[in-house]
Amino acid sequence: MNTALLLLPDFALILLGAAIRRWMHLGDHFWNGVEKLVYFILFPALLINAIVRTRLDLAAALPLLATAFAALAAGMALGLLPKLFTKLPALTYASMFQCAYRFNSYIALAVAGMLFGAPGIATMGLIVGAAVPVVNLVSVWMLARHGESGLWREVARNPLIWGTAAGFVLNLAGFVPPAPLQAFLQRLADASIALGLITVGAALRLDGTTGMRGFAGWLVGVKLLAVPAAALAAGALFGLSGLNYQVAVLFAALPTASSAYILAMRMGGDGRSVAWLISATTLGSMLTLPLWAAWLLR
């Protein structure tokens, strides 16, 4: 129940975005401007702020990271499987495909902190910091290869990847932001959470998956059920136990990241279907996350 309540603010922001779009009539120009602000300024600040403040001890966390990446690989493989049987437009497929493995890092840190306190936040932060560049690179590659732009051009100008890389470089260099800079980055990071979810809600369309409901339902099941099940198996294989095992499985059980919608929109993909999938996985995770947590903490 506590985990379900924790997810309510994020879901409420999505609903607020839908309500603002419907009743305030701000127009596409306004929402396009908000999307650019979130994508180019606020999300990179969030990534830099989170990674710089995370203590990275990769040598001691290899089984943890191996489990997390095995779960991501399972999501990617299961997301690719329907390509053998579906006839969706390539760019639509590439847009929706990322919803099989991307994760909501805001919810990740909140859930880890609520269940396990500071150690949980540190453990989840390590996974998130290592996984963000991988999922961004795969998502950009899939969208770029089916779009009009080349992969490396899109990678070179993708602010999410640059923000992640900058955070890692600063972290490994031992950089500690002075208090004013840290406060500045924190303010931008805080704004990214609210505005990012509001833009998801603003783009929400209940009929956004017309003609592709089977694929959308498959992706929801993959993200909320199959990927955490893969983490359970991989964690046992790699000898994980205790806090690391629990956090790795909860990481795999997270709903799809709101940044998947921003990326799809900025690269000319199917943002509406992605927004539906984000909303569906977020709503569904209000049931599945507590169930996974109860299983792990039994």
- How does residue 222 score in pLDDT terms, banded at 50, 70 and 90? very high
Per-residue pLDDT, 73: 97
Domain that holds residue 63: 2-296
pLDDT over 80 at 54, yes or no: no
pLDDT at 63 over 90: yes
The pLDDT value recorded for residue 150 is: 53
Helix (H) or strand (E) holding 149: none
For residues 60-83, one letter each, b for 16 or more C-beta atoms within 10 angstroms of the residue's C-beta and e for the rest, the string is ebebbbbbbebbbebbbebbeebe
The predicted pLDDT at position 272 comes to: 81
**What number is the average pLDDT over the span 103-109?**
82
What tokens does 13 get? 């922001």
Both tokens of 200, joined, read: 């998801």
Looking at the chain, how many residues does it have? 298
The pTM assigned to this predicted structure is: 0.77
pLDDT value for 211: 55
What confidence tens digit (pLDDT) does each residue in 148-206 have? 555 566 566 678 778 878 887 888 888 888 989 989 988 998 888 788 878 877 876 66
Report in angstroms the alpha-carbon separations of 176 from 17, 59, 201.
Answer: 35, 22, 35
Q: Which of 61-65, 122-126, 208-212 has the lowest mean pLDDT?
A: 208-212
User: pLDDT-derived band of residue 298, with 50, 70 and 90 as boundaries?
Assistant: confident
When comparing pLDDT for 209 and 162, which is higher?
162
Question: What are the backbone angles phi and psi of residue 88, rounded to the nearest 5°?
Answer: -70, 150
CA 76 – CA 90 distance, rounded (Å): 16
Amino acid 129: pLDDT:
77
pLDDT at 112 over 80: yes
| pLDDT for the residue numbered 213 | 72
> Is 224:284 a contact under the CB 8 Å cutoff?
yes
Examine the pLDDT at 38 and tell me if it is beyond 90: no
CATH number of the domain where residue 72 is located: 1.20.1530.20
Structure tokens given for 83: 């390509």
Which of 231, 292, 278 is CA-nearest to residue 3?
292
Please report where in the chains the tokens 């602010």 appear, as a residue. Answer: 159
Number of structural domains in the chain: 1
Residue 114: C-alpha distances to residues 27, 120, 121 (Å): 38, 8, 9
111 vs 127: CA distance, rounded Å: 14
- Per DSSP, helices labelled H in 27-104 are 28-37, 43-52, 62-80, 90-97
Rounded to whole angstroms, the Cα distance separating 107 from 62 reads 23
Average pLDDT over residues 55-68: 81
